[in-house]
Amino acid sequence: MQKPNIAIRADGNAKIGLGHIHRTLALASYLKDFFEIKYYSVKADELVCGLVKSSGFILVNLKDSEEFISEISKTDIVVLDGYSFKTDYQKALKTNGNKVIAIDDLNEWENVADVVINHGYSGKEYKLSSNSKLYAGLEYAIIKSEILGASKSQEKKSTNKVLVCIGGTDPEGYSEKIVTSLLKETEKQISILTYPLNSAFKSLEKLASQNEGRLKLFHSLDTTDLMKLIQSNDIAILQPSNIALEAAALGIHISLIQTAENQKYILGNLVNNSCAVKLDADHIGKDINSITLEHINEQIKKQSKLLDGKSPARILDVVNSLLLECRKVKESDIKLIYDWNNDPVTRANSHNKAKIEFANHEKWFAGRLKDEQLDFLIFSYNTIPCGSVRILREETENVIGIAIAPEFRGKKLAGLILNMAADYFYERHGNKEITAYIKKQNVASIMSFEKAGYKITNEGEYCGDAGYRLIKK
């Protein structure tokens, strides 16, 4: 089965930095097993080309931003990450027929994209069209999967090692100022992380050579080495961008210096949750010297509760929801439902394992279509039928069952389908409980139902099989 296409539109260079590229590469890593992904960037330099290609993605180098629409298919899902993709640009893509996801961290223009993701935002008001859905907060943190899944730092034993990372390009020269202050006003061991694009790179190299015992310069690290560097330090001086979220996921005391307007939401989120402190750029040495071991370990404890590591799965659901549709089953679906219900895996996980005869299926199916107490739904993914759900309203409970088309197993759609089916049910019948009965050995189904918000309430024998009763309220 051909994967759906995603077109990612993001730029990066010495002037605007590499944040949009790094962030979309993290997002692409969540989706690459389920989608064909291609990057589109205007006049990308060697560094950007190298970053994208080394991550396993094709990059199309555009001469200007307007060329993008003519390069993509109308069926592509478009991901936008940048500050030139405002309302009119999003409208043009929607007019072209594309589903659009906008990654936004400013909230300064009306977003008309189908989906808007702002992982730093925690406010109430957002510039959003009525047809757009906002996914905000650190539940949707777009940071590297390897970092989200890494072991957290244990309790620190020292306050002596300081990491400085103020972006890969740092056009305002914060890195050099911070390092110079630390060398002069503290006795800390210092590591600085940057890219050769940094305008002060040569000055930083010189400082490192002059202070060989105290200052080490790192640049262009891969994810594994980045994780090792963060975890080998005690304190990190960072800008409130993705690097700060990555550091919080790994566990380190974070002091933040805001260098751009788009960093305000991550700054506020981390500081308000006591997972970082704001650093006074005029008193760097004094502030860093005042950090105690207790401060460090208390902050790391708070950080461990902030990011639950489930954002990749949530974001996959967000993207899949753009392609998933639901309708009532109709007469012409009889053969499709028969094939799904008679699939060997479906039969093995059913309470009645016997093969279904088509004549019996015809009678059963005709009865289901006429049953006014039954919501019988079929789901399509990217226009291809992918599964069905039945919810039967009985006197004492409303019982749900699901069947996934064999070719769609492993596509991570079951939890999303169950949620959509529940929404359909609630809209028509109110917020009543929905019950599921699942065999004990059907671990995949149990996990899908739990992901969709069902909770195990009883364990017992149902229809002759050992299993669980799960409830969604």
The pLDDT of residue 24 is: 98
The pLDDT of residue 362 is: 96
Are 52 and 21 within 8 A, CB to CB?
yes
Task: Report domain 5-142's class.
Answer: alpha beta
Strand order in the sheet with 5-10: 58-62, 36-42, 5-10, 77-81, 99-103, 115-118, 133-136
DSSP string covering 16-81, please? TBSHHHHHHHHHHHHHTTTSEEEEEEET--HHHHHHHHHTT-EEEEESSTTHHHHHS-TT-EEEEE
Distance of CA 20 to the CA centre of its chain: 15
d(CA 92, CA 115): 15
Are 399 and 405 within 8 A, CB to CB?
no
Per-residue pLDDT of the chain (473 residues; tens, 9 = 90+): 899 999 999 999 878 888 999 999 999 999 999 999 999 999 999 989 999 999 999 999 999 989 999 999 999 999 999 999 999 999 999 999 999 999 999 999 999 999 999 999 988 899 999 999 999 999 999 999 999 999 888 889 999 999 999 987 888 889 999 999 999 999 999 999 998 888 889 999 999 999 999 999 999 899 999 999 999 999 999 999 999 999 999 999 999 999 989 999 999 999 999 999 999 989 999 999 999 999 999 999 999 988 899 999 999 999 999 999 999 999 999 999 999 998 888 888 887 778 899 999 999 999 999 999 999 999 999 999 999 999 999 999 999 999 999 999 999 999 999 999 999 999 999 999 999 999 999 999 999 999 999 999 999 887 778 899 999 99
Q: What fold characterizes domain 324-472?
A: Aminopeptidase (3.40.630)
Helix axes 19-31, 46-54, angle to 10 degrees: 20
The residues spanned by each domain of the chain are 5-142, 146-304, 324-472
The pLDDT of residue 281 is: 87
H or E stretch including 465?
strand 465-472
User: Which overall architecture, per CATH, does domain 146-304 show?
Assistant: 3-Layer(aba) Sandwich (3.40)
d(CA 56, CA 183): 40
Q: Are both 5-142 and 324-472 of the same fold?
A: no
Look up residue 363 and give its amino acid.
K
The pLDDT of residue 14 is: 77
What is the DSSP pairing of strand 161-165 with strand 189-194? parallel
d(CA 27, CA 311): 10
Read off φ and ψ for residue 380, nearest 5 degrees: -125, 140
Alpha-carbon separation of residue 343 from 11, 202, 349 (angstroms): 47, 65, 10
